[in-house]
Structure 1
Amino acid sequence: MLGVSVLLTVVFTGCEKSLLTVDRHGSSVQPDLYYTTVQQCNTSTQVCYRYIDWDSWWQTFNWRYLSGEAASDNAWIGNTYQSSHSTYDVVSQYTIDAGNDRNESQWIQLYKGIGIFNSAIEGISGSPIDTADKQRFTGELKFLRAWCYFDLVRNYGGVPLVLKTYLPDTHLPRNTVKEVYDQLIADLKEAAAVLPLKSAYAPADKFRASKGAALALLAKIYLYAEDWADAETAAKQVMDMGDYHLENDFGDLWDYHYKNGAESIFEIQTASSQNPPLPSSPLYMMNSVADAGWGYYSVTSDLENAYLSEKDSIRRVWTINKQGEPVAGDPDNKSFDGRGYVPGGPSPASKSGRFCRKWYVPKAERPSNGLYSRDDIILRLADVILIHAEACAMQQKTAEALASLKMIRDRVQLPTDMSLSGWDLINAVRKERRLEMAFEGDRLYDLRRWKDPAGKRVIEDIFGPNGSFVLYNTKTSKDVFETNNTLEPQNKGIHFNPAVHLLWPIPNSEIVASGGVVEQNPGY
């Protein structure tokens, strides 16, 4: 594999037998007879954590950030010194087609992971090991599979549910969104019932899925399914279990050395598999070209304005590195250069002069060769608290929603209007989610799932010819960085069509390979 891979704290003696061969869909796996001891089953389960993220240079990880942020009002593609129209810009501009190679990689790699998890589940289920161990390993694998399916369903809608191994070139039709969610809910309930608390794991095993991780993902899936009552219940279970607490300082979460901390519920452990090592791709791609980065995913002035409107100075500086301003937590970078210059290329090299601080490493903490990696937190307590707040607000449980909202705002020293109710409260929770979770991969999906009082999707008011984000950038904005660099079009999002772009296209290669068994999403 190229690039950064997951670091497993285990000795892979004899482990090659558990690295299973899969076809391009991940639905055909030929396991060897390997699952005969607890050690073998444990090793095979741990190996599977490698495949939740695959090749984080070009595959699922970057696509998640690309589609979750750069196709939203939080980020531009950003890099204006290279031509990336065939891969990245088409997502930001909503001109993507079914032949996009990054979109295809997302689909293929997620299904490869699912195929490997299925094979491990089958191997462990037939193992002679103790039932409790068997249930725990299976619970971990079902959590990993659920995470991959969650990414699939929120990107593509209903997808084929592949829950066992099949002969090569077997193709299943798409299941409905409800069927996919129902399966994930069942799997995560089962996992939560058998997995240990995070606090019960030894330090070397903190990377493993826990009861809290299963319940946190379950709460998130309930939220997407608009099952407010069950989302509230699952989120509250996580909040009350005592395994997690909010870090006192919001900036501590983005410390380069922060790993599996008190607020982290589940994170991907990353380190380089290359010699010499390569950096974690987000750190490399999401930094200014003036600081050895590639200059992708630059922050919009629209997102900065959201922080300014709330006087949210703490999260603003820990989320945004801005041209000419000092970098939070880095005394060696007193004037961030977000514009950059590439010899022989257009100048400036960045659309907005802003990049995400959450993925920045202070200069003094970088290895001497300038290459570094950092864990990817994909579930944390603040997310769960905001799920609880939103689920309660949608049920008009005002006091409960306000209490959770206040917890998040208290940490960053912001007052909470305790008189909020109804849609004012719902919108306050939604804004808080943007401020807290920016550049953690959820923004696009939140905009797609949220509805206004009339049932219209919120994203329809933000993108399209008359969308607020499009009109801000083309009519209102005076931002000196963005308006003076039109190498990335200022009318980002103008091509959004709600009849098409609530989902991404199923890769055309999948449609062709399945002989039409897998059907395309409307409009592609």
Structure 2
Amino acid sequence: MEKPIINFFKPSKNVFRGGILGMFVCFALTSCENLLVEEPKFIVVENFFNTAAEVEAATNAIYTPLRSTNFTVFETTLECQADYAYGRGSWAPLHGYQGLNDANISRVAGLWNAFYLSIRNANLVIKNAPLGKSISQADINKYVAEAKFLRAFNYFQLVRTWAGVPLRTEQNMTDINLKKSSVEEVYNLIVADLKEAEANLPETPSNVGRPSKWAAKTLLADVYLNLGRYAEARDKADEVIKSNKFSLVPIASKEDFQLKVFGPELVSTTEEIFYFKYTRQVDQGNYMLWITNHPSTNLFNFGGAYVVYGETTDPFYKAWDSADIRKALWEKVNIGLGANTVISSKFIDQKAISQNGAGNDDPVYAYADVLLIYAEAAARAGNGPTAQALEALNQVHRRAYGKNPKVASSVDFVLGNYNATSFVDLVLQERAYEFLYLGKRWLDLVRTGKVKEVIKASKGITVADKHLLWPIPVSEMNFNKALDPVKDQNPGY
């Protein structure tokens, strides 16, 4: 069944599309141009945040800066720095690991702006929804929780790529000049927001694509993992596992991964926890297909820019078991760099309607995330692998070989073969295979302190210290007078 085309105001098939619905914020109030010149604060705050429908429309606007092409560009920028990947064209300096050049500095500045625009839209909901005159307290709690989930999500991306950043909240959102908060302060806000989201988001959202209580728990588990609070990460992931609401989709072939797990016509799956939702509409599709594909494969009917690629001669690829079906999602294609080049065929859509009109969703958090967060966190918290941690890892591993994820198999890892260190390394390797092209590998290498060792071993390059963080945009430095361009800029820029 093809994924439904979405009515502009009312999504059919109970599917939520943040970008489509988010535009309602502007269109419902005459025009965006008028909002910019005719007392926008009065129009938006006094007349708009009064009903559940109006607050929902404002909440939808939080997604728009992320869903357009920005989160895809964010993932691609991270992916070009992975040990198994290279960037092509203007992205090539990323795999040189010596810091960002002008083109990529400008690119990540656009991502900074997108994250903060999304945060600004979240702050509007958090501040104004409780003031609505014709909205129930239950709806207020739900939409504020969704806004706080998304605000936490944005700050989680910012703190991991820029470290300390200005904390703009509903309380100071009109202040232009804000100092840079510490990493600890940013994480404190993220955790506080997610705890409120966890308490007030529904178990089952009204629309597919909105975050649930389980999405908040998953993101919180990931945050705890990054903070080194391993027991809390383990326990939060375990809550999601024990809910029995999610399971891995069984597969038997590469095509099953392409169509049953990441397919363009899927509305949802049993493993979906929090995805950015896309559909075959102009400017409402997933841009990653244009980023990753090559015209010669005919897997995406608008060709592709093949921005990210790998090499069959790399240690990562050579060590990867060919019986692992995920490896087949690398397509051998000569893109002018020789016969050893491979590009991803993870996302395909032969019926897309434009370069950014593919129907594939972006699996930001799937059940595999939960299982692998649990496996790593449990082993770190217990100073060694447990039977439960091993089972969580084996479920992901079995599925990759076409086995039933829930049934012991010949490809299972064996508990007695691993200690605390080797088991965590095993989980990290499984994460690299499972989350290929989702921008997670570089962040894993940085958070575990393995980045210099791994890149040196795989590519023979010494990663410069300045490459570990992105530069705060010059526009922010010029705009925000509380920032010192010398003291507050990240090292090396």
Q: Give the TM-score range, shorter chain.
A: 0.7 to 0.9
- Does residue 37 (structure 1) correspond to residue 34 (structure 2)? The answer is no
Which amino acid in 1 is paired with 2:273?
I
Take 2:391 and 2:118, find their aligned partners in 1: how far apart are those partners? 39
- Does residue 379 (structure 1) correspond to residue 389 (structure 2)? The answer is no
Deviates more, 1:188-197 or 1:415-424: 415-424
Which amino acid in 2 is paired with 1:384?
V
Q: Could you list the per-position Cα deviations for residues 104-143 of structure 1 after superposition, in whole angstroms to 9, with x for gaps in the alignment?
A: 1011111011011101221102113221111011011111
- Does residue 427 (structure 1) correspond to residue 425 (structure 2)? The answer is yes
1:140 pairs with one of 118, 126, 146: 146
- Does residue 70 (structure 1) correspond to residue 112 (structure 2)? The answer is no
Distance 1:17 1:120, change over 3 A: farther
Q: How does 1:44-59 map to 2 (within 5 A)?
A: 44-53=58-67, 55-56=68-69, 59=70
Displacement of 1:496 in angstroms is: 1.9
SS at match of 2:308: coil
| TM-score, structure 1 normalization | 0.77
Displacement of 1:65 in angstroms is: 1.9
Take 2:31 and 2:212, find their aligned partners in 1: how far apart are those partners? 23
2:149–2:194 contact (8 Å) kept in structure 1: yes
2:168 pairs with one of 139, 149, 162: 162
- Does residue 515 (structure 1) correspond to residue 484 (structure 2)? The answer is no
Q: How does 1:19-30 map to 2 (within 5 A)?
A: none
- Does residue 96 (structure 1) correspond to residue 104 (structure 2)? The answer is no
Displacement of 1:360 in angstroms is: 2.3
Displacement of 1:287 in angstroms is: 0.7
1:390–1:401 contact (8 Å) kept in structure 2: yes
Take 1:105 and 1:192, find their aligned partners in 2: how far apart are those partners? 30
Count of residues in Structure 1 that have an aligned counterpart in Structure 2: 442
Superposed CA RMSD in Å reads: 3.1
Take 1:458 and 1:402, find their aligned partners in 2: how far apart are those partners? 22
1:339 matched residue in structure 2: 334
Distance 1:20 1:242, change over 3 A: farther
Distance 1:293 1:223, change over 3 A: same
Higher helix content, 1 or 2: 2
Q: Could you list the per-position Cα deviations for residues 280-328 of structure 1 after superposition, in whole angstroms to 9, with x for gaps in the alignment?
A: 32111211143411121113436784475434431111x3122xxxxxx
SS at match of 1:500: helix
2:284–2:356 contact (8 Å) kept in structure 1: no
Distance 1:167 1:382, change over 3 A: closer
- Does residue 394 (structure 1) correspond to residue 380 (structure 2)? The answer is yes
Q: How does 1:257-272 map to 2 (within 5 A)?
A: 257-271=265-279
Distance 1:167 1:209, change over 3 A: closer
SS at match of 1:415: coil
2:434 matched residue in structure 1: 436
Take 2:318 and 2:286, find their aligned partners in 1: how far apart are those partners? 28
Segments of 5+ residues of structure 2 without an aligned counterpart are 1-16, 402-410
Q: Could you list the per-position Cα deviations for residues 357-386 of structure 1 after superposition, in whole angstroms to 9, with x for gaps in the alignment?
A: 21223x4x4559995332111010101110
Take 1:388 and 1:255, find their aligned partners in 2: how far apart are those partners? 26
2:277–2:361 contact (8 Å) kept in structure 1: yes
Q: How does 1:173-192 map to 2 (within 5 A)?
A: 173-192=179-198
2:159 matched residue in structure 1: 153
1:245 matched residue in structure 2: 247
Displacement of 1:418 in angstroms is: 2.2
Distance 1:394 1:190, change over 3 A: same
SS at match of 1:359: coil
SS at match of 2:218: helix
Distance 1:287 1:369, change over 3 A: closer
1:214 matched residue in structure 2: 216
SS at match of 1:354: strand
Displacement of 1:215 in angstroms is: 0.6
- Does residue 417 (structure 1) correspond to residue 407 (structure 2)? The answer is no
SS at match of 1:387: helix
Displacement of 1:257 in angstroms is: 1.7
Distance 1:98 1:285, change over 3 A: closer
Which amino acid in 1 is paired with 2:80?
A
1:235 pairs with one of 234, 237, 256: 237
